[in-house]
Structures are given as structure tokens and as C-alpha cells.
């Protein structure tokens, strides 16, 4: 059965799983079975590692199979690690560029994939020169709580992903956590209408942000946006159901990962911020997957639909669920309750109104920067004279609602999208993840749309190496080796 499924998945294998990974997975599964009872033994877990970096739930002969992609867990680990250690934006940028190149290779666009990775390498060389450390790579990092981080990445993160997928099974099949699910639905009901943003303005659906489509003219230049309003209302019910189902699955993920966090004494406040970072990483990957295939190939007419991200809603609900657990309005196993109430002050301050605002702000940044990155990547200049909040206020209700989201990408500083200007980033301003992501989307769009010839630095010519028969995946991952070794000459033998 496994072989059959492997063929049907039709994925490119990324790397083989090692024994250590299998051990960790077995532990997560055992904990899950213990938590969800005998019935959960019907669920088959199939670990794989592919360039798709995504886990999913399949059914074979009525039996649920969780296809757990370890490469997804790896991908998130790299990013969470870098964000928590306050690594510089360039190193997050590298990860996104590698994933984009993998995706392009998967789409059979080998040339574009190689160009993306070549540009990635060049940016890294430029960074080393800016820091005066060439060919070494200077990586000032902050190592507070590195032990906690390692526990999180090795044990807790995989259990969150596994728990999430099992949650999708649990939702349709079992009555476990029935009360908790009802509580999540209530939380949704209570929060779905958002108060007006400006004074007496209109109230709106919090979880349903408008979907924006960026159009490009015959020369591949931006030519206005379409905002899907009315047409989306037809699929609204379906989207709400999907969103809610993700939130419920996250709840399973939270319960299972809390179990592992408690077992390995991971402090709740660190668990909290790392979980949020994980969700943000999941979102950025799904944006890449959604946007990259749509970017016009060459300077030609086309459009990119940015869709609506579900992550804002998932984070919003997750934060409130943790709050609900602490306030005992959401029923959970006693150990989960004990874990989250073990250090009430710290968790309380994180869940304050101010904390929530910050969390939501950063979450919306993914939507904004992906759109800004594609816009600027096409070669269009950074827009000036943007309408201000006051302009928006003078408009009618609809204008107020739509004008600000439309210009969000350009309310961020222009150098958010320029990795070359961030070599001396020191932790002030926007988080490294936001900058790395925005710049990677911009650069990758430039490569895909403009097919710019990209110079070769320090002797690594990816295209030539590829034509000489070097393994493609090996090539695409080469930059990561340099980052890890902190030296540009550390390319693997190709
Ligand atoms: Zn899901």
C-alpha cells in the first residue's frame, strides 16, 4: 500500500530520512496514540521527504494516512531557528530563494531555478564583501535560550505538524474534544466582526480579507489591481468552513505539542513565541507556492492572484485558544492546563491587547510583502505620493475599506525589498524574516519575469555545472552549505 501511495503522490524525493528522525517521529506517534486513545491506531503515518515540502492527509480504502513530509519540518526549522536567534535577513533570504528554486525545478523550469540560485549566491558574496569578511560569512546571532530552541525544533515542531494532520482526521471521524471544538466555534462567532478601523467607518469580517489580483500589461509592467469583493461572497461559506477546519486542526497540534513541550521542560513563553513563528513560516511557504507559478514568464501580459491567506485567522484563534485554556473556558486534558498556567504572568503579558496587535500586524506583513515584492520585481519603481490615512478617511465607506490594504506593501520602507541594503541590519525596525521574505519574492520575480542575465561570482557558475551533469538538487542546496559553514568556499563538490 505504501508503495502504491508513493507512486500516486508523484513527488521528487529530497533526501532520505535518517534514524534519528525516525526515532523522533515514533515518539511523536506514540504520544499521539496515548493522547487520542486506541482509535487513533487506525491512522497510518507515512514519513517522506520531498521537494514539495508539504504534509497532507490521504485516505486509502477508507483508512486515513497522514503523509508527513519531513522536508516541511526541516524548512520550518531553518526559519524558526534563524528568526528566534535574530540572524540577519540575508540568511532567511537564502532559505526562501532555495525553496523558490526547488519549486521552479519542480515546474520543470530548470533555467529559472538555476538563475535564482545563482542570484542567491551572488547576493551572499556581496554581503560578505559589505561586511569585509569575504569569503567568510559574518553571522552575528543572539543565542538566548538555545537549548529551548533545540528542544522545540527537534521534538515539539514535528509533533505540532503531526497533531495538526491528525486533527483533520479527528474532526471528521471522532468525538474527541467535542467541547473544545464548540469553544473554538464560539470564539470565531464572537470575533468575526471587527470594529471599524477609522472612527465611524464600516465594520468588517475580520477573517475574510479581500483577495487582490495584480495585473500586468503587454510589457510585463503593473497595470492596476482587481479587488475581488462580490464574487468572493459566493464562496464565502466554503472558505469560512475551511478556515475553521484549519483552526480546529491547529488545536490538536497545540494539545499534542504541549505534551511534548511539558515532557522536555520547554518554558511556555518560549513555546508560545516559537509556535507563532512556525505558523508564520507555514504561511510564507504557502504564499510562495501560490504566487510563484502565476508570475508571468517573460515580459508579457498576465496577472497574479494573491488569494486570501488563512494564517491571520489561524494565529488569531490560536492566541485566543491559549487564553481560553488559561481562563478555563476551553476544556483540555489536565496536563495541558497545568502547562499553560504554570507561569501565568509571563503568558498573560504576551496575550495582552498590545501583544495581540503586534502579532496581527506582523502576520499581515506576509500578504503585503508578497504583493510588493512581485510589483517591484517586475521592474516598476517604488510608488511615491501614496494616499494617506486621512485621504482614505475622506472617501466613502468602500474606499476606506479598500484603499489602505491596497497600499500596504508600500507603506513599508523601500529597503524592506532590497536585501543588498540590509547587510548591516542590527535588529532595529522590521524583523529579519519580513525583510528576507520580501526581498526574495522581489528578486525571484525579477529573474522569472525579466530573465536578466545574472553574473557569476567566485567561480561558481551554476548553469555550466548543471550542463556538466551535476545533480540538480545538490546544486540548488549548495548555498545552504555555505551558510552553515559560514564560508562561501564551502560549496560541496559538484
Ligand atoms: Zn491543515
Q: Is the dihedral of CA 458, 462, 468, 470 positive or negative?
A: positive
Grid cell digits, residue 337: 492546563
Q: What is the pLDDT of residue 338?
A: 94
Q: What is the pLDDT of residue 8?
A: 67
* CA 199–ligand 1 middle distance (angstroms): 36
* CA 285–ligand 1 middle distance (angstroms): 14
Q: What is the pLDDT of residue 400?
A: 64
Q: What is the pLDDT of residue 47?
A: 87
Closest to 7 measured CA to CA, from 46, 63, 62, 42: 46
Residues 6+ apart with CB under 8 A from 59: 65
* CA 165–ligand 1 middle distance (angstroms): 6
Helix (H) or strand (E) holding 102: helix 89-106
* CA 72–ligand 1 middle distance (angstroms): 13
Q: What is the pLDDT of residue 228?
A: 72
Q: Would you give the end-to-end CA distance of the chain in angstroms?
A: 36
Q: What is the pLDDT of residue 49?
A: 86
* CA 314–ligand 1 middle distance (angstroms): 10
* CA 362–ligand 1 middle distance (angstroms): 21
Q: What is the pLDDT of residue 447?
A: 93
Q: What is the pLDDT of residue 414?
A: 94
* CA 280–ligand 1 middle distance (angstroms): 14
* CA 56–ligand 1 middle distance (angstroms): 8
* CA 168–ligand 1 middle distance (angstroms): 7
* CA 152–ligand 1 middle distance (angstroms): 20
Name residues of the chain where pLDDT drops below 70.
1-2, 4-5, 7-9, 16, 38-40, 172-174, 176, 195-204, 209, 229-233, 346-347, 353-355, 360, 362-363, 389, 392-393, 395-402, 451-453, 457-459, 493-494
List, as one string, the DSSP characters of 129-188: HHTT-TTB-------TTHHHHHHIIIIIHHHHHHHHHHHHHHHHH--TTHHHHHHHHHHH
Q: What is the pLDDT of residue 399?
A: 65
* CA 216–ligand 1 middle distance (angstroms): 32
Q: What is the pLDDT of residue 296?
A: 95
* CA 78–ligand 1 middle distance (angstroms): 21
Closest to 263 measured CA to CA, from 345, 350, 154: 154
* CA 128–ligand 1 middle distance (angstroms): 39
* CA 161–ligand 1 middle distance (angstroms): 9
* CA 249–ligand 1 middle distance (angstroms): 6
* CA 246–ligand 1 middle distance (angstroms): 5
Amino acid at each position: 500500500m505504501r508503495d502504491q501511495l508513493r507512486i500516486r503522490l508523484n513527488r521528487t524525493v529530497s533526501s532520505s530520512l535518517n534514524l534519528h528522525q525516525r526515532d523522533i517521529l515514533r515518539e511523536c506517534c506514540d504520544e499521539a496514540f496515548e493522547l487520542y486513545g486506541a482509535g487513533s491506531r487506525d491512522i497510518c503515518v507515512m514519513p517522506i521527504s520531498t521537494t514539495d515540502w508539504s504534509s497532507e492527509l490521504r485516505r486509502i480504502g477508507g483508512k486515513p494516512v497522514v503523509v508527513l513530509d519531513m522536508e516541511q519540518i526541516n524548512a520550518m526549522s531553518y526559519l524558526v531557528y534563524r528568526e528566534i536567534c535574530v540572524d540577519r535577513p540575508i540568511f532567511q533570504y537564502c532559505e526562501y530563494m532555495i525553496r523558490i528554486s526547488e519549486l521552479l525545478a519542480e515546474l520543470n523550469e530548470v533555467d529559472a531555478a538555476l538563475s535564482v540560485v545563482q542570484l542567491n549566491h551572488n547576493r551572499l558574496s556581496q554581503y560578505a564583501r559589505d561586511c569585509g569578511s569575504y569569503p567568510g560569512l559574518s553571522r552575528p546571532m543572539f543565542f538566548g535560550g538555545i537549548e529551548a530552541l533545540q528542544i522545540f525544533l527537534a521534538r515539539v515542531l514535528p509533533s505540532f505538524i503531526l497533531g495538526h494532520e491528525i486533527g483533520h482526521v479527528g474532526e471528521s471521524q471522532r468525538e474527541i474534544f467535542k467541547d473544545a471544538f464548540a469553544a473554538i466555534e464560539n470564539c470565531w462567532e464572537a470575533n468575526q466582526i471587527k470594529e471599524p478601523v477609522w472612527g465611524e467607518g464600516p465594520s468588517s469580517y475580520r477573517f475574510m480579507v479581500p483577495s487582490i489580483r495584480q495585473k500586468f500589461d503587454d510589457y510585463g509592467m503593473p497595470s492596476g489591481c482587481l479587488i475581488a469583493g462580490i464574487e468572493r461572497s459566493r464562496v464565502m461559506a466554503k472558505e469560512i468552513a475551511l478556515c475553521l477546519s484549519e483552526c480546529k486542526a491547529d488545536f490538536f497540534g497545540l494539545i499534542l505539542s504541549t505534551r511534548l513541550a511539558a515532557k522536555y521542560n520547554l518554558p511556555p513563553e518560549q513555546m508560545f513565541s516559537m509556535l507563532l513563528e512556525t505558523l508564520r513560516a507555514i504561511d510564507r511557504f504557502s504564499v510562495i507556492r501560490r504566487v510563484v507559478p502565476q508570475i508571468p514568464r517573460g515580459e508579457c501580459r498576465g496577472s497574479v492572484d494573491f488569494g486570501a491567506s488563512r494564517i491571520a485567522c489561524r494565529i488569531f484563534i490560536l492566541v485566543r485558544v491559549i487564553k481560553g485554556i488559561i481562563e478555563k473556558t476551553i476544556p483540555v486534558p489536565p496536563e495541558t492546563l497545568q502547562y499553560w498556567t504554570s507561569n501565568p504572568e509571563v503568558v498573560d503579558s504576551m496575550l495582552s491587547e498590545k501583544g495581540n496587535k503586534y502579532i496581527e500586524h506582523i502576520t499581515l506583513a506576509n500578504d503585503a510583502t508578497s504583493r510588493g515584492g512581485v510589483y517591484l520585481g517586475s521592474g516598476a519603481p517604488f510608488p511615491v505620493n501614496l494616499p494617506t490615512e486621512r485621504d482614505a478617511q475622506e472617501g466613502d465607506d468602500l474606499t476606506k475599506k479598500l484603499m489602505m490594504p491596497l497600499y500596504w506593501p508600500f507603506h513599508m520602507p523601500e529597503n524592506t525589498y532590497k536585501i543588498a541594503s540590509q547587510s548591516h541590519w542590527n535588529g532595529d525596525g522590521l524583523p529579519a524574516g519580513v525583510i528576507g521574505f520580501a526581498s526574495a519574492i522581489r528578486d525571484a520575480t525579477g529573474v522569472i519575469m525579466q530573465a536578466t542575465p545574472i553574473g557569476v561570482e567566485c567561480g561558481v557558475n551554476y548553469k555550466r555545472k548543471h550542463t556538466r551533469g551535476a545533480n540538480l538538487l545538490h546544486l540548488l542546496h549548495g548555498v545552504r552549505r555555505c551558510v552553515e559553514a559560514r564560508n562561501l568556499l564551502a560549496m560541496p563538490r559538484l
